[in-house]
Structure 1
Amino acid sequence: MVTGRFRALALASCIGMLFVLLAGALVTNTGSGRGCGDDWPLCNGKFIPAYTMETAIEFSHRLITGFEGLLVVAAFIAIYLLFRKNNADYKEPLIYASGALLFTVIQALMGAAAVKWYQSDAVMAIHFGISLIAFAFTLLLVVWSYRTKNGKPVEFTVPRAIYPRMLAVTIFCYIVVYLGAFIRHTESAGGCLGWPLCNGEVVPELQGATAAVFIHRLGALIFGLALVGLYIHVRKISGKGKGLTKSAGWALVLVIAQILSGALLTETIGNDDWFLFTNLLHNLIITGLFGILCDMLIRSWRLREGRENA
């Protein structure tokens, strides 16, 4: 049985990782990546730097990341100690805690490398994706801790056809997210003005920023249709309110919200304050959606039909 203290720790690490992810997006959207100069882990050569807006944003991001690192390490140690006593019951959460720790370290090293040495926009876009994976692992740990709150949960069987579909949808989601991060780092958001048309055209001239934004929009449309199909498939196989149906329903709601937030993002391009807010909202929604998809992916594999004979 999982203690309330551990659930609180897991939840804190998950919320902390969300703040790290949003703080990183804020650094990118405000152009504050050089707010601490070329120094790391110090900021402009100081432990507590002189105040400027860019420095405050970048330094706050570093502080949040450092505190989150401590939470992730604490969660890993707590699970590892439980795993040593009971390998069978704590193998799954150990994988989640280990993944969170690994990708938190990778994320921090990528951040340090970006400060010390020049990184291309294509490489920097991966930074958000690494943070997204780290968040997903912390979320999976939270979900596991609540599902096992009163002992082993009642498990159900997932048809084998769901897993390959979930794998494809999750990978495609990550690709679409990467394209969005690339657009932010290259400041290409203005490549498509207007929504749903791009510069007043169904298919615009595919050059430069316009090509990047249009491909991202097309990917988001395909992704949305894929989630509609996934929801119909899961509900048809499992029935209303059974198996993965509820999670698929939430994923469908969030992808619709994500598409609408993308439209709002386009409409606020000319207003710096609102554009910053809509950017963070866009990031927040996709973070939650990716976390749900990862949970569905894990469960569709673990609970697939015939797994006992695999």
Structure 2
Amino acid sequence: MSSAPSPGFRRLAGATVAATFFLIVLGGLVRVSDSGLGCGPAGSGLAGWPLCRGDVIPTLELQTVIEYAHRATASAVAVLMLALALWARRAHRSQRGLARATLVASGLVIAQGLLGALTVELNLDALLVALHLGLAMLLLALVIYVWRASRPDVIGAPPAGGGALLRRLATASAATILLTIVAGGYMAGTEHNGRSDEATTAGAHYACGTDFPLCNGSLLPFGQTTLADVHLTHRALMYLASALVVALAVVALRRRPDRAVVRSALGALALLIAQVLVGAANVWVPTESEPLILVHLTLATLLWAQLIELRLRLSPVPSPPPPAQPAERREALVA
């Protein structure tokens, strides 16, 4: 058993990271193209999932194709994740963190599929939409960890310095960004996109009008309406996340524990600035812009991935124990 996974395992882990990222962005395309119910209306049962309009291969209507492509990509991610888990169990069981991460990620893929089916069955319920997005982000974090833990230059190497403050800021930044993304997913779930009752669904997107950073003339006027509170929760979390990421970049620049850490922190700050500007543009534009919404999700996913990668740099990946010698194995069997 080798001390580090093979290049093939690392390539498979990298492909799984890329496929998971693409799956999240494709999920955003499903949302902005009103394709969430492209395989059948809510309450379709098995005809709507796992089948699509009652068929294994559906007709080539645009919304159906987009939803079906999302499901096909999810199936590909599931196959990749299962292959990683089996490979890790057979060849790299001594790397317990890596092996466990592949098992947990495989479980998350299954949970995601079932949650996706429930989301469609229950007419794209806002809470389920948010949970679906949150689980996707956790899955991305796990496969990033698996990819990093498979690199020979990382296994057994000391973590980057910077002290407890930098680690805490990185953890808090990532956690708050995740909450911001989930809150944004819930806000998106209140919109009419793809729902059978879209004519009666207003949504929280313009609950603050076209005001940013203010909301109807005030900074955070909670209590006006339920939809405004949904919108403001997303904004409040974004303000907190922004403060944490700025603090993270400042501490990284002052302590300079490692060039890669400083680059990652500054990269996260740049992504945050771009994300805030795109989010503001989504509000300032008087009608919903599908490309802007999709870019907003893509930048959020990149920012989350950047913060996860940075946090992982600040923690060690332990070396697996050396393989037991023949004499040691005999003694273990006797004992």
Bucket of the pairwise TM-score, normalised by the shorter protein = 0.7 to 0.9
Cα deviations across residues 126-172 of structure 1 (Å, max 9, x unaligned)?
A: 11011111111122222333x42597545444523333333332222
CA contact (8 A) 2:84 2:102 kept: yes
CA contact (8 A) 1:157 1:243 kept: no
Cα distance, 1:64 vs structure 2: 0.9
The equivalent of 1:170 in structure 2 is 174
TM-score computed with the length of structure 2 as normaliser: 0.79
Cα deviations across residues 170-218 of structure 1 (Å, max 9, x unaligned)?
A: 2222211111111111022122213333345444573233332233223
CA contact (8 A) 2:162 2:252 kept: no
Of 190, 206, 209, 1:190 maps to 206
SS in 1 for 2:163: coil
The equivalent of 2:328 in structure 1 is none
The equivalent of 2:63 in structure 1 is 54
Distance in 1, Cα, partners of 2:218 & 2:122: 40
Cα distance, 1:269 vs structure 2: 4.9
The equivalent of 1:226 in structure 2 is 244
Asked which structure has the greater CA Rg, the reply is: 2
CA contact (8 A) 2:176 2:240 kept: no
Cα distance, 1:120 vs structure 2: 3.2
The equivalent of 2:7 in structure 1 is 4
Kindly indicate whether residue 163 of structure 2 is the aligned counterpart of residue 159 of structure 1: yes
Cα deviations across residues 216-243 of structure 1 (Å, max 9, x unaligned)?
A: 223212211111112222333x326447
Distance in 2, Cα, partners of 1:110 & 1:288: 23
Distance in 2, Cα, partners of 1:269 & 1:136: 35
What is the one-letter code of the residue matched to 2:88?
I
Kindly indicate whether residue 17 of structure 2 is the aligned counterpart of residue 27 of structure 1: no
Which protein has the bigger helix share? Answer: 1
Which of 117-126 and 150-159 deviates more?
Answer: 150-159
Gaps of 5+ in 2: 192-203, 318-335
CA contact (8 A) 2:205 2:231 kept: yes
The equivalent of 1:76 in structure 2 is 85
The equivalent of 2:265 in structure 1 is 248
Distance in 1, Cα, partners of 2:38 & 2:220: 39
The equivalent of 1:267 in structure 2 is 284
Cα deviations across residues 46-90 of structure 1 (Å, max 9, x unaligned)?
A: 011122222111111111111111111112222222223xx1xx2
Cα distance, 1:36 vs structure 2: 1.0
CA contact (8 A) 1:2 1:149 kept: no
TM-score computed with the length of structure 1 as normaliser: 0.85
The equivalent of 1:308 in structure 2 is none
Distance in 2, Cα, partners of 1:96 & 1:221: 31
Pairs aligned (count): 294
Q: CA RMSD in A?
A: 2.5
The equivalent of 2:327 in structure 1 is none
Instruction: Report the CA distance shift for 1:67/1:153 in structure 2 as closer, same or farther (over 3 A).
Output: same
Distance in 2, Cα, partners of 1:209 & 1:14: 34
Instruction: Report the CA distance shift for 1:113/1:150 in structure 2 as closer, same or farther (over 3 A).
Output: closer
CA contact (8 A) 1:22 1:284 kept: yes
Alignment of 1:112-151 (within 5 A): 112-117=117-122, 120-145=125-150, 147-148=151-152
Distance in 2, Cα, partners of 1:150 & 1:126: 32
Cα distance, 1:98 vs structure 2: 2.4
Distance in 2, Cα, partners of 1:278 & 1:245: 29
Kindly indicate whether residue 123 of structure 2 is the aligned counterpart of residue 108 of structure 1: no
CA contact (8 A) 1:140 1:291 kept: no
